[in-house]
Chains A and B, each alone.
Chain A
Amino acid sequence: MFQRLLVATALASATFCSAATELVIAGRDSSYGQAMQHIVDEYQKAHPSTNIKLVKRPSKGLYESISLSMREKTGNYDVILMDDTWAPEFLSNNWLTALPKEVEDKDFIQAPFDIGRYPNANSAAYAMPMVGNVAMFAWNKAVFDANNIEKPSSWSEVLAAAKKINANSAKDTNGIVFRGVKGNPIVTGFLPILWGYGADVVDANGQASLNTPEAKQALTAFLAMKQYAPRGVDVYNADEVRDSLQKGSAAMAIEVWPAWVPNLDNPEMSNVVGDMEIMAPPAEVGAPAPMLGIWQLAIPADAKNKTEAAAFLKFATSPAIQKTLALDYGIPPTRESIYNDAEVVSKYRWYPQQAKALTTGKARPRIHNWAEVESILGDFLQMTMLGQMSPEQALEQAQRRISRVIKV
Chain B
Amino acid sequence: MSRYLHRFFVWSAVALFILPIVWMFSTAFKSPGEIFHAGANLIPQQISLASFQALLNGELPILVANTVFIALSATVVSLCIAFFAAYALVRYRFPAKLDNLFLLAVLVVKMMPPIVVAVPLYSLMNTLGLLNSQLGLVLAYQVYTLPFCIWMLLSFIRDIPLEIEEAAAMDGAHLLKRLAFVVFPLCAPGLVATAIFAMILGWNEFLFSLLFIHTPDKFTIPLFISNFMTEDGTAWGELMAIGIVSSLPMLALAGYMQRYLLRGFSMGLK
Contact = CB atoms under 8 A, between A and B. Distances in A.
Interface of A: 24, 26, 29-31, 33, 53-59, 61, 64-65, 68-69, 72, 74, 76-77, 238-239, 242, 259
A53 B229 CA distance: 22
A30 B232 CA distance: 6
A72 B226 CA distance: 25
Contacts of A53: 215-216
B210 A77 contact: no
Contact of A30 (B123, B214, B230): B230
Given A64-B210, A65-B214, 10 more contacts: A30-B231, A55-B214, A64-B115, A65-B211, A72-B122, A74-B131, A76-B131, A238-B232, A238-B233, A239-B234
A57 B230 CA distance: 10
Contacts of B118: 64, 68
B266 interface: no
Contact of A55 (B122, B126, B215): B215
A76 B132 contact: yes
Contacts of A26: 214
Interface in B210-237: 210-211, 214-216, 226-227, 229-234
B126 A72 contact: yes
Contact of A29 (B119, B211, B230): B230
A238 B211 contact: no
Given A55-B215, A58-B226, A72-B123, A65 B210 contact: yes
Contacts of A30: 230-232
Contacts of A69: 214
A61 B207 CA distance: 8
A61 B227 CA distance: 11
Interface residues of B, number: 21
Contacts of B229: 58
Contact of B214 (A24, A31, A242): A24
B214 A68 contact: no
Q: Which 10 A-B pairs have the closest CB atoms?
A: A30-B230, A30-B232, A72-B126, A61-B210, A68-B122, A29-B230, A76-B214, A55-B214, A58-B226, A31-B232
A77 B122 contact: no
Given A55-B215, A57-B210, A72-B123, A29 B234 contact: no
Given A61-B210, A65-B210, A68-B122, A29 B215 contact: no
A171 to B, nearest CB: 19
Interface string B95-129: 00000000000000000000100110011001000
Nearest to B228: A29
29 contacts: A26-B214, A29-B226, A29-B227, A30-B230, A30-B231, A53-B215, A53-B216, A55-B216, A56-B216, A57-B210, A58-B226, A58-B229, A58-B230, A59-B231, A61-B211, A61-B226, A64-B210, A65-B210, A65-B214, A68-B118, A68-B122, A68-B211, A72-B122, A76-B131, A76-B132, A76-B214, A238-B232, A238-B233, A239-B234
Contacts of A259: 231-232
A192 to B, nearest CB: 19
Nearest to A61: B210
Contacts, number: 57
Contacts of B233: 238-239, 242
A99 B134 CA distance: 35
A137 B227 CA distance: 29
Contacts of B214: 24, 26, 55, 65, 69, 76-77
A204 to B, nearest CB: 31
Contacts of B211: 61, 64-65, 68
A64 B210 CA distance: 9
Contacts of A77: 214
A160 to B, nearest CB: 32
Contacts of B210: 57, 61, 64-65
A55 B224 CA distance: 12
Contacts of B215: 53, 55
Nearest to B215: A53
A33 B229 CA distance: 13
B77 to A, nearest CB: 24
A151 B210 CA distance: 46
A59 B232 CA distance: 11
Interface in B180-234: 210-211, 214-216, 226-227, 229-234
A68 B119 contact: yes
Contacts of B122: 68, 72
Nearest to A53: B215
Nearest to B234: A239
A404 B132 CA distance: 37
A169 B119 CA distance: 53
B226 to A, nearest CB: 5
A29 B227 CA distance: 6
Nearest to A76: B214
Nearest to A57: B210
Contacts of B216: 53-56
Contacts of A29: 226-227, 230
B123 to A, nearest CB: 6
A51 B246 CA distance: 31
Nearest to B233: A239
A59 B226 CA distance: 11
